[in-house]
Amino acid sequence: MITILKSMLSHPLTKGLSIDDPKTTQLRKKIILEKPFLKRIYEEWYMFIASSLPQGKEPILELGSGAGFLREFIPGLIASDILQLADVDIILDGYSLPFRNSALRGIIMVNVFHHLCRPKVFLKEATRCVQPAGVLLMIEPWVTPWSRWVYQRLHHEPFLPQAQDWGFERGGPLSAANGALAWIVFDRDRKLFETDFSEWKIQEIKLIMPFRYLVSGGVSLKNLVPGWSYPFWKNLEKILQPHMHKLAMFAQISLVRQD
């Protein structure tokens, strides 16, 4: 029944396309910009990111820029992706960053960390490339009772909170994933992270958005609610803020590089 429902709700622009095809990512950018509800979600995420950056002249790297438009919020942003896309500045995979030591003021990822099959390798590279007082900022899926139900039934990506290892088998750039990875690294295994990557301080993990991304249809499904209803859903989530540990589907994660 769920498979039939997902097929009926699939967005017509990308229906039937492989998520690893660069054309799918290009079409997803068009979807984001043409869905007012979804576009406002991205704008909210981008405002959080822009406001969390430290002052300085050193560059900011976005990993997995994909279908986004963060460049509009951060002038001079280095947009990167593992796919060959028209709107990115550099092609890279995150495991061997082409920057000198302490060259970056920060690294930004929106729904990207959980696609890194070798997260420890990436974190070592981030440690090398980000300067002291620099940041690592992420928007990532999170594990709660509600999100576990949604991601394991309605989402196309693997969501495995029970995984013992941080890494997973390498596959397609978007199809290979563990949606629970950020929760595993920064919550379940936080003591291990703080031991192995003591150069980083977890400044904040803010749990957010139990409903808005879901009802927007995201980049894969049709709109489930009209764009004008955005304030209603945002206000509803504000009311439910004390219960985010049970309801949140995403987290805003802020790490600061220590001296």
Distance (Å, whole) CA 259 – CA 252: 23
Q: State pLDDT tens for residues 75-108.
A: 999 999 999 998 899 999 999 999 999 999 999 9
Is residue 1 scored above 90 in pLDDT? Answer: no
Spatial contact of 63 and 96, defined as CB atoms under 8 Å apart: no
- pLDDT at position 9 is 55
pLDDT mean over 126-136: 98
Band of pLDDT at residue 191, cut at 50, 70 and 90: very high
Is residue 4 scored above 80 in pLDDT? Answer: no
Most confident of 16-25, 26-35, 158-167: 158-167
- pLDDT at position 220 is 85
pLDDT mean over 194-201: 98
Q: Say how many CA atoms lie within 13 Å of 176 toward its Cβ.
A: 12
Antiparallel, parallel or unpaired: β 200-208 and 130-141: unpaired
Q: Token digits for 65?
A: 């820029």
Range of lowest pLDDT (113-122, 207-216, 220-229): 220-229
- pLDDT at position 222 is 85
Is residue 20 scored above 80 in pLDDT? Answer: yes
Band of pLDDT at residue 5, cut at 50, 70 and 90: very low
Q: State pLDDT tens for residues 98-107.
A: 999 999 999 9
Q: CB neighbours of 171 closer than 8 A, spacing ≥ 6?
A: 117
Is domain 2-257 classified as CATH 3.20.20.70?
A: no
Band of pLDDT at residue 10, cut at 50, 70 and 90: low
Is residue 54 scored above 80 in pLDDT? Answer: yes
Q: Token digits for 59?
A: 């560059």
pLDDT mean over 217-224: 88
- pLDDT at position 223 is 87
The DSSP bridge partners found for residue 139 are 110, 252
Distance (Å, whole) CA 31 – CA 39: 9
Is residue 3 scored above 60 in pLDDT? Answer: no
- pLDDT at position 229 is 97
pLDDT mean over 112-118: 97
Annotate 72-128 with DSSP letters as a single string: GTSTT-EEEESS--TT-SEE--SSS--S-TT-EEEEEEES-GGG-S-HHHHHHHHHH
Distance (Å, whole) CA 122 – CA 94: 6
Spatial contact of 92 and 34, defined as CB atoms under 8 Å apart: no
Is residue 15 scored above 50 in pLDDT? Answer: yes
